Amino acid sequence: MTALRKRPRPHRRTPRLAPPAEIDLDEQGRLTAPGGGPPVPVPRVAEHLAHRLAVPEWATDIHVYVHGWQTPPTQATRTAVRLLEQAVELYETAPDRYPALKSGYRPWCVVVRWQSSSRPGKKGYEKIRNRAHAMSAEGQGHAPYVIGHLLGYLDTERTDPSDPQVLANRSGQYLHLMGHSFGGRFLCEAVQRAAERPPVLGWSTPHDPRRPFTVDSMLIFQMAAPRDAFLRHFDTLFPTATHPGAPLRGPIALTHSRWDRATGFWHLRAEKTPGIGHSGAGAAPVPQFSTRLLPTGINYPQQVLDHRLVNIDADWLYRGSRRTRLHPSGAHSDFLRPESAHLLLTLAERSR
């Protein structure tokens, strides 16, 4: 009897993306030239970024990605590209699922790569935690100048927003932040510091009120920070009566999974409390909402994402393989999934 031949699987075309822009920082958070060399002086950061970054006119969405602990630069770029490839593939497969993207979805990415390598274990964790903070701390690192000028430059290059309110309509290009692990902590620290003084943000001088510094959404996968970090460390990120000029106008979405050992076991040892990536955010200066990460075939209801801070439970998916469950980090890096891209794409769509 002749054996049945397996029917070949249809070839799925991988969407082609324009090469991302890469921004490299040294251990002090200083911008370095491509291929190494001396750091760029702070007064020349804006000039350097303007020379290296050219926001494509065809792009509908600008994504800035900051990686986490123990991530080589090339891997950081691959991760950002793969996430956006998955998002484009989802959009091309089912555009009707994202109706607000009526002008299409054509992402362009900027990858911020920093020195995140250290030895495994508690001391290595503490070293990178302290570095992520020090690169943005007052009088130490230059990360706020770099990130601030980067975001300010991108904000200047895109079309003027028509309305800076949360999830409101706006014309032109949209700006989104993505981070993983300490990359989320890095982003929050840097954006908060960068927003303290308008000149750091690259705003026009004198300040042009038609150009408020805004970020349309922020998505952080498995954030390495204490559960009360948004209350203790990042309280000025959100627009409130006390801080009406905060830089974020869209939501912050945070994924978490109990299978994440890096922000569970190691974070507990280093900071005496589980991390956001393991248990979700706790106390915060703004109301928050909790929901589940959804499969790609299910749309997120408007009411679950229309909040300042949204906890996304990914226990069912971010579980890691049998091999990674034995790894010290567990499922900490198991976020490179189509479901993650679905959430990313939905946040981009709801920003319209």
3-state secondary structure the chain: CCCCCCCCCCCCCCCCCCCCEEEEECCCCCEECCCCCCECCHHHHHHHHHHHCCCCCCCCEEEEEECCCCCCHHHHHHHHHHHHHHHHHHHHHCHHHCCCCCCCCCEEEEEEECCCCCCCCHHHHHHHHHHHHHCCCCCCCCHHHHHHHHHHHHHHHCCCCCCCCCCCCCCCCEEEEEEECHHHHHHHHHHHHHCCCHHHHCCCCCCCCCCCCCECEEEEECCCCECCHHHHCCHHHCCCCCCCCCCECCCEEEEECCCECHHHHHHHHHHCCCEHHHHCCCCCCCCEEEEECCCCCCCCCHHHHCCCEEEEECCCCCCCCCCHHHCCCECCCCCCCHHHHHHHHHHHHHCC
Per-position pLDDT tens, the chain of length 352? 344 444 444 444 555 788 899 988 887 778 887 777 788 887 787 788 878 887 888 889 989 999 987 788 899 999 999 999 999 999 999 999 999 998 899 999 999 998 776 665 567 667 766 776 666 655 556 666 677 667 766 766 665 444 443 323 344 688 899 999 988 888 887 777 766 654 444 333 344 444 455 678 899 999 988 899 999 888 888 766 666 666 676 789 999 999 988 887 766 777 778 889 999 998 888 889 999 999 999 999 999 998 989 999 999 999 977 655 556 677 888 999 999 999 999 999 998 8
> Tell me, what's the pLDDT at 274?
83
Contact 21, 107 (CB under 8 A): no
User: What does the longest C-alpha to C-alpha distance in the chain come to?
Assistant: 83
> Tell me, what's the pLDDT at 262?
81
Range 162-165, long-range pairs (CB < 8 A, 24+ positions) = 164/212, 164/214, 164/249, 165/249
Domain boundaries in the chain?
21-350
Q: Output the six-digit token pair for 22.
A: 């890469």
> Tell me, what's the pLDDT at 165?
38
Contact 180, 221 (CB under 8 A): yes
> Tell me, what's the pLDDT at 198?
46
